[in-house]
Chain A
Amino acid sequence: MTAERVRVEDRAAFLTRREHRLLRGLALVGLVAVWEALARVGWVPVLFLPSPLGVLAELGELARSGQLLVHVAASLQRLLLGFGLGALGGIAVGVAVGFFSVAEAVGQPIIAATFPIPKIALLPLLILWLGIGEPSKVAVIALGVFFPMAINTYTGVRQADPLLVRAAVSFGAGRVSVIRKVVIPSALPMVFAGLKLGAGTALLLLVAAEMIGAESGIGFLVLQAGNLMETTRLMVGIVLLSLLGVLSHWSLGRLERLVIPWRHT
């Protein structure tokens, strides 16, 4: 008599996730190819859906005439200034509110009350206060970035491990040292999550602000092209915005790796 043998199979095989590198590359290329094909066949009028190659040509045209540089430079300047001011302010307020009980008592209700306001609704007020020029645009972006930064930083600071704080104090650290050497490093991952969140908000508010009162910028380009039914040019604007979004996310990721090396080694 031979004993029956049952071989154990890997029953979790279907749970392993593969990377599908080729498919990843093809997905994007495929989307553009289908789009180009649709435009070529002529089923959809160019007015509604310009071809990708047409958009590329228009981009080249804008670059040659120098308009591209003007618009992109104007947008970048507003974006960087607004994002930088908002992020710095948010981090400072977040650390203060997270660490000092007095700042928390004062700051938390104020932030909770003002955070839900859609920042775009404040633009007319900001224009009234600061004029139609650059300051009001920068201010609305800064405000939009400030809140996610302040809230994320606050959360990060509150999550600092009390054991590490005690350890630092036991080795003689005072208030300043604890903030610098324990609280801020603990909060950094949350700070970066806030920066990524804020970058999206900043882009949204940039376009909105440029659509309301500007003579330059990518938002202005998009709105003007729409009004003139220049769909190809409008698409150039949209592509530029998407590039800007991808670029900001990528560079923040790079910066994160640089600043938080202990998480990636």
Chain B
Amino acid sequence: MRVVVEGVSKTYRDRSGQEVVALQDVSLAVAPEEFVALLGPSGCGKSTLLGIIAGLLPPSAGSVYFEGARRPRRPLTATVFQEFALFPWRTVQANVELGLEELGLGPAERAARARRELEVMGLAGFEGRYPHQLSGGMRQRVGIARALAVDPAVLLMDEPFSALDAQTRTLMMEELLGVWERTRQSVLYVTHNIQEAVFMADRVVVLSRRPGRVLADVPVDLKRPRVESQQGEPAFVHAVEHIWGLIKSQARSALLDPGREGP
């Protein structure tokens, strides 16, 4: 299914009662099997937009819809959260089964599907552990397995690796791309890291600082499957420099005025 975000704006009141425009007239689309990165400086409303697409926040204006044939028992979205958002009282297995429970699957099918996704994410043997017994990288693997298990029309990833250390993050990015090559799951991937966005995505949608607007939609002309050495290719360097040129001044003003991420 194709995800279409049409003219979405989001305004909310901050604590002092002042109106803050988080998003202004944002339109974008994610095609089936497409990997789109949503890039912007902190406080540009990226997470807010993801929340609106996931149906966790109502937009103030505009709408989000999904086009195409809907398969039964397939949720529209599943989210991978920056802070993992695993349930501490559920084992790894039970965390992955949560979405499947809500889809109404029976215990046997839930267990089988969860185990398959855990296997894919390299977590076989950790089914019975609790989240606090795992490292950050392992926890986010569980988060990804949980989202993949429900096979959503689009996978939403909200800065999934920014809570991890640099080495783990690099490995996880490659691993995610490896999984994506096999599943071709459409992805909307939020990040504030330009290299990350260019390396992962087919297209980078660049958002401006608050109020968040679409500054540019930059296609990435790099072969798949992606490998680390491509980061030296002219196409990669060019895309990164182009995007950096677009948001440099914005990032600088963000530095002077410590803006907050959405509500």
Q: Do A and B come from one complex?
A: yes
With A170-B78, A171-B78, A182-B87 known as contacts, the answer to whether A262 contacts B99 (CB < 8 A) is no
**In the complex, which residues of chain A have a beta carbon less than 8 angstroms from the beta carbon of B90?**
262
Interface residue? B251 (CB, 8 A): no
A152, B85: Cα distance in complex, Å: 24
Contact A164 B85 (CB under 8 A): yes
**Residues of A with C-beta under 8 A to B83:** 163
B77→A170 contact, CB < 8 A:
yes
Q: Which residue of B lies closest to A265 (CB)?
A: B130
Q: A170-B54, A171-B146 given as contacts; is B89 within 8 A of A163 (CB)? A: no
Contact flags A157-200 to B (C-beta < 8 A → 1, else 0) = 00000011011111111000100011001001000000000000
B132 in the interface (beta carbon within 8 A): yes
Q: Are B88 and A262 in touch, CB under 8 angstroms?
A: yes
B121 at the interface (CB under 8 A from A): no
User: Could you mark each residue 58-78 of chain B with 1 if its beta carbon is under 8 Å from any beta carbon of chain A, else 0?
Assistant: 000000000000000001011
Whether A181 and B79, one on each chain, are in contact in the complex, defined by CB atoms closer than 8 angstroms, is no
B89 near A170 (CB under 8 angstroms)? no
Residue ID in chain B nearest A173 by CB atoms: B102
CA–CA, A50 to B166, complex, Å?
71
Interface digits, B17-56 against A, CB 8 Å rule (1 contact, 0 not)?
A: 0000000000000000000000000000000000100111
Most buried by B among A172, A181, A261: A172
**Contact digits for B127-138, partner A, Cβ 8 Å, 1 yes 0 no:** 000101100000
Q: Are A170 and B98 in contact (CB under 8 A)?
A: no
- A171 contacts which of B51, B102, B133 (Cβ < 8 Å)? B102
**Is there a chain B Cβ closer than 8 Å to A212's Cβ?**
no
A260 to B81, CA, bound (A): 25
- What is the interface residue range for chain A against chain B? 10 to 19
Hey, which chain A residues are within 8 Å of B88, CB to CB? 262
Closest to B98 in A: A171
With both chains docked as a complex, state the minimum distance between the C-beta of B8 and any C-beta of chain A, in angstroms.
Answer: 18
CB of B73, distance to nearest CB on chain A (Å): 10
Q: How far is the CB of A156 from chain B (nearest CB, A)?
A: 13
**How many angstroms from the CA of A171 to the CA of B55 in the assembled complex?**
11
Contact B89 A172 (CB under 8 A): no
Q: Please classify the interface of chain B as helix (H, G, I), strand (E, B), loop, or mixed, using the class held by over half of its residues.
A: loop
**Dominant SS at the A interface?**
helix
Q: Is B150's beta carbon under 8 Å from chain A?
A: yes
B237 interface hit (Cβ, 8 Å): no
Residues of A within 8 A of B78 (CB): 170-171
Q: Which residues of A contact B81 (CB under 8 A)?
A: 163, 167
State whether B56 touches A166 (Cβ < 8 A): yes
A262 touches B98 (CB 8 A): no
- Min C-beta distance of A68 to chain B, whole Å: 42
Closest to B51 in A: A166
What is the interface size of chain B, counting residues whose CB is below 8 A from a CB of the partner?
25
Among B75, B79, B103, contact of A167 (Cβ-Cβ < 8 Å): B79
Report the separation of the CA atoms of residues A188 and B87 in the bound assembly, to the nearest whole angstrom: 14
Binary B-proximity of A37-56 (CB < 8 A = 1, otherwise 0): 00000000000000000000
- Chain B residues within an 8 Å CB radius of A260: 89
**CB closest chain-B residue, reference A177:** B102
A170 contact set on B, CB distance < 8 A = 54-56, 77-79
Cα(A170)–Cα(B75), bound, Å: 10
Instruction: Judge whether B132 and A169 touch: CB under 8 Å.
Output: no
* Smallest beta-carbon distance A160→chain B, Å: 11
Q: Could you say which of B75, B130, B133 contacts A172, with CB atoms under 8 Å apart?
A: B75
Give min CB distance, A169 to chain B, whole Å.
6
Q: Are the CB atoms of B89 and A185 closer together than 8 Å?
A: yes
Report the minimal beta-carbon distance from A162 to chain B, rounded to whole angstroms.
10
Whether A172 pairs with B87 at a CB distance below 8 angstroms is: no
B75-A181 in contact (CB<8A): no
Cα–Cα, bound, A247→B78 (Å) = 47
Contact B99–A171 (Cβ < 8 Å): yes
Q: Are B79 and A262 closer than 8 Å at their CB atoms?
A: no
**Distance A166 CA – B150 CA, assembled complex (angstroms):** 17
Contact status A262-B150, CB under 8 Å: no
7 A-B residue pairs with Cβ-Cβ distance under 8 Å, sorted by A, are: A163-B85, A166-B56, A167-B87, A168-B98, A170-B54, A177-B101, A262-B89
- Give the B-binding residues of A (Cβ under 8 A): 163-164, 166-173, 177, 181-182, 185, 188, 260-262, 265
- Seed contacts A171-B98, A188-B89, A265-B130; 20 additional CB < 8 Å A-B pairs: A163-B81, A164-B85, A164-B87, A167-B79, A167-B81, A167-B87, A169-B56, A170-B79, A171-B78, A171-B102, A171-B146, A171-B150, A173-B98, A181-B98, A182-B87, A185-B87, A185-B89, A261-B130, A262-B90, A265-B133
